[in-house]
Structure 1
Amino acid sequence: MSSIYDVLLERGYVKQLTHEAEIKELLEKEKVTFYIGFDPTADSLHVGHFLQLMVMAHMQKAGHIPIALIGGGTAMIGDPTGKTDMRRMMTREEIEHNGNCFKEQMSRLVDFSDGKAYMLNNADWLLDLNYVNFIREIGVHFSVNKMLTAECFKQRLEKGLSFLEFNYMLMQGYDFLELNRRYGCIMELGGDDQWSNILAGVDLIRRKEGKPAYGMTFTLLTNSEGKKMGKTEKGAVWLDKNKTSPYEFYQYWRNVNDADVEKCLALLTFLPMDEVRRLGALKDAEINEAKKVLAYEVTKIIHGEEEAEKARSAAEALFSGAGNLENVPTNTINRSMLNMSLLDVLVELKILPSKGEGRRLIQQNGLSINDAKVTDINRVLIEEDFAQGFVLIKRGKKNYNRIVLE
């Protein structure tokens, strides 16, 4: 039987390790408590977090204990990683609400019952720190010269890095130290953009406690062109069904590039790797079957089997004339919106992000109403459009919405 380290390696998660041989042996022979940090800057996780949840789920299934650490303290400063501008500081109430939303979403993959996993908030130890004591105890172990070589700081130096943000690495390192002291946590995991911060924590524990600590990063969820996945014309692909409907979520994965199918199946589903490789090897029209499997499996993990079935049925209704059209994302309008500009209606319903986007779609023959191309940017929505009981809007080749009249 392969170890969890071999599973993570085979599925393509592992990017960098602080102590490869030791980590491999540790994960094979011991039950390890590890943590991953989550920045509570929104009230939902998004596709970028999904991969981290999958790692937590795989690790937990192998008997290891996850800690999901909500950055309630650090979110009041802002992580400069991957950002060109300083993040907005948040209130405690916002952070607590967002953390509660995260836990509900994480619970689909991670079992938090009976000490099998923990959700903690670093505000519990960061907000009451005495600054002078903190700098004396922690700051003495950090070299400014070394910190400035970290990629997260390099990117910000050109525009100006505030001292507020410069503290972030110290705080994240201190998080690891506190979790080590309180919960025996010996490993920090995270996306590869967190490598510098993870190294800081590993080094701090070894210096302060004289004990081993480890770090592992996993690959970021990018497409074959190296761009981060999880963005659409309407913004981020969220795990909250009220922000991104299960149908839209399903369609996002149904429409991934052919070159990304095998990678997504490996990273974002629990399908055996033999099946992942078989599906990933399909070519031309057959790769669409692999995309359907990917979309269904991913939607089932995040939204449950019932929603995945509905999304699949809606997709079949639109593309093959079978299935239930009622599961297509639906908006209801009242009669006061009749005879309004179609673009105004679509923007108000958030089907389109802006009228400018609508005009661009029309110019590119990418917007249809009831299977008829919209060619006039001043086209209005009239009662006759609802002859079949609803209006079907199509954006691009594969994005559909229904509009129902009250």
Structure 2
Amino acid sequence: MSAVFDELTWRGLVANSTDGAALAQHLEAGPVTFYVGFDPTAPSLHMGNLVQLMVARALQRAGHRPLLLVGGSTGLIGDPKAAGERVLNSKETVAGWVGTIQRQVERFLDFDGPSAARLVNNLDWTSGMSVLDFLRDIGKHFPVNRMLAREVVKARLEEGISYTEFSYVLLQSMDYLQLHRTYGCTLQFGGSDQWGNITAGVELLRRSDGQHVHALATPLLTKADGTKFGKTESGTVWLDPAMTSPYAFHQFFLHAEDTKVIEYLKVFSERSRADIDELEHQVVEAPHLRAAQRALADDITALVHSPAERDAAVAAAAALFGRSDLDQLPESTLASVVAELAAPVLPVGGELPGVVEVLEASGVVPSRSAARRSIAEGGAYLNNNRVVDPDARLVQGDLLHGRFVITRRGKRTVGAVSFERG
């Protein structure tokens, strides 16, 4: 078996393949040109996309050549979803997202050397194609009965599906055909929800050019309760730091369930089997140390953002729970922390509010009377300093970077307020 196929299998990254044994032999035989696509249906990639980038990194390390497709044409259409018809984004919006996502994906692969990656955009070969050529050269190879049998199409037939979304599979299949003819691409992979589109591309190459090519699908990652991985109460976990801060990103992985953390480590960390086996042992023997969660959060934050952002996230968490000084955190990092804590914004007029009012506003206590009890018991903190006087008021020097206050009750209940001048 191919070493890289064996690694992908061990890491749990192979849900389906057209022929696993044949694909392993193909990868073992020599450098393979492969492609993975990303549709610009949002201004950033998310955690599901990162799964595909990790597969691409593993294949490139093994000497294979990546084609990273950002779908300037398929992004204008949108893959059909069971939930209903998509709202079409404007051409200008999609073009802007193409550029943004291209800049994101190129950070993860090497664009130099014998296995250099290449960015491609399917708008380059579809924009000048006539409807007649599309129907004759591509549509001719797609039996409608096969298209109607696709699960997502069957789910939409009762309420209706536009011809636009119905024909998406033809566009994506044409990408494989084009990339095979131009670059000799013989492997496409993507998420398991794309398996129908991916295998349709394999079939198109067989029908149109008589070529046998390969396909692979990665599994859908889920949380322990079966819900979609990469989703939080506040929304999707994005790779763009402006949409999900490095601190929030690090915290998301730091809170991975014990039952799932090793699965996530295999996918998102490039640690060796021996290292991950040791972390798995620690999950069983010393789960309270959360060594696997720390390794996962550190590795993935360093990869997606940078080692410096990882260090800042770790420092912010330490400061938040009283293990270091909050006033040493950069304003941008502290602002991310405050945003993650959903801090209320309080107006600043003349006199600043009292400590009891601030504790209540931040949500660490349910009422002012509870704030007073917490102070009396010695368990109330502002900026990691114990509050001793329930009648004290904030002064300007209490505002970190002139606008933030971090509150805490006991060791673990943390909140914040942000002040804004009117």
Q: Give the structure-2-normalised TM-score.
A: 0.81
For the 8 Å contact 2:47–2:237, the answer to whether it is kept is yes
| Corresponding residue to 2:418 among 395, 398, 403 | 403
In structure 1, the gaps of 5 or more residues are: 340-366
**Contact persistence 1:385–1:391 (CA under 8 A):** no
Q: 1:109-168: CA deviations, max 9, x gaps?
A: 212346711111111112222112221222221111111221221222232111111111
Contact 1:33 1:65 in 2 (8 A): yes
- Find the counterpart in structure 2 of residue 121 from structure 1: 121
Residue 382 of structure 2 is matched in structure 1 by none
2:312 paired with 1:313? no
| Paired position in structure 2 for 1:269 | 269
One-letter identity of the residue aligned with 1:392: I
Distance (Å, rounded) in 1 between the aligned partners of 2:110 and 2:27: 19
Q: Which residue in 2 is equivalent to 1:147? A: 147
For residues 181-231 of structure 1, the C-alpha deviation after alignment (integer angstroms, 9 at most, x for no partner) is 111111110000111111110011011111211110011222233321111
User: Which residue in the other structure is 1:297 paired with?
Assistant: 299
Pick closer, same or farther for the CA change 1:132–1:272 going to 2, 3 Å.
Answer: same
Give secondary structure in 1 for the equivalent of 2:132.
Answer: helix
Separation in 1 of the partners of 2:17 and 2:184?
20
User: Structure 2 matches for 1:1-400, cutoff 5 A?
Assistant: 3-80=3-80, 82-113=81-112, 116-281=116-281, 282-283=283-284, 285-286=287-288, 288-319=290-321, 321-322=323-324, 326=329, 327-328=333-334, 329=336, 337-338=347-348, 372-375=364-367, 384=394, 388-389=398-399, 390-392=404-406
Q: 1:272 to 1:286 in 2, by over 3 A?
A: farther
CA contact (8 A) 2:5 2:24 kept: yes
> Which amino acid in the other structure matches residue 181 of structure 1?
R
Secondary structure of the structure 1 residue equivalent to 2:290? helix
Q: Distance in 2 between matches of 1:45 and 1:11?
A: 22
Q: Is the 2:41–2:78 contact (alpha carbons within 8 Å) kept by the matching residues of 1? A: no
Change over 3 Å in CA distance of 1:295–1:37 after alignment to 2: same
Contact (CA 8 Å) 1:330, 1:402: kept in 2 or not?
Answer: no
The alpha-carbon distance between structure 1 residues 383 and 57, as it changes in their structure 2 partners (threshold 3 A), is: farther
Return closer, same or farther for 1:40/1:371 CA change in 2, 3 Å cut-off: closer
Equivalent-residue separation in structure 1 for 2:143 and 2:413 (angstroms): 52
C-alpha distance in 2 between matches for 1:336 and 1:226: 38
CA contact (8 A) 2:364 2:415 kept: no
CA contact (8 A) 1:370 1:391 kept: no
Which residues of structure 2 form unaligned runs of 5+? Answer: 350-358, 372-391
- Give the corresponding residue for 2:388: none
Shift of 1:384: 3.0
Amino acid aligned to 1:273? R
SS in 2 for 1:31: coil
- Return the alpha-carbon distance in structure 1 between the equivalents of residues 254 and 414 of structure 2: 11
Q: Structure 1 residue 178: deviation in Å?
A: 0.7
Indicate the larger mover: 276-285 or 205-214. 276-285
Q: Which amino acid aligns with 2:71?
A: G
**In structure 2, do the counterparts of structure 1 residues 30 and 393 end up closer, same or farther at CA, with 3 Å as the change threshold?**
farther
1:349 — aligned with what? Answer: none
How far apart are the structure 2 equivalents of 1:106 and 1:321? 36
Q: Once the 2 structures are TM-superposed, how far is the Cα of residue 385 of structure 1 from its aligned partner?
A: 8.4
* Matching residue's letter, 2:242: N
Distance of 1:96 and 1:385 partners within structure 2: 49
Larger Rg: 2
Q: Per the alignment, in what secondary structure is the counterpart of residue 288 of structure 2?
A: helix
* Residues 324, 338 of structure 1: alpha-carbon distance in 2 compared, 3 angstrom cutoff: closer
Percentage of identical aligned residues: 37
In 1, Cα distance between equivalents of 2:108 and 2:175:
24
Do 2:73 and 2:122's aligned partners in 1 also have CA atoms closer than 8 Å?
yes
Instruction: List per-residue Cα deviations over 1:57-104 (Å, max 9, x = no partner).
Output: 111111111111111111222210x44122222233322221222222
- Post-superposition CA distance 1:245-284 (Å, at most 9, x none): 1100000000111111000100001011221122123236
**Contact 2:51–2:268 (Cα < 8 Å) also in 1:** yes
Q: Against the structure 1 CA distance between its residues 216 and 287, is the aligned structure 2 distance closer, same or farther, given a 3 Å change threshold?
A: farther
The amino acid of 2:91's aligned partner reads: R
Q: Which amino acid aligns with 2:116?
A: K
Cross-structure match for 1:360: none
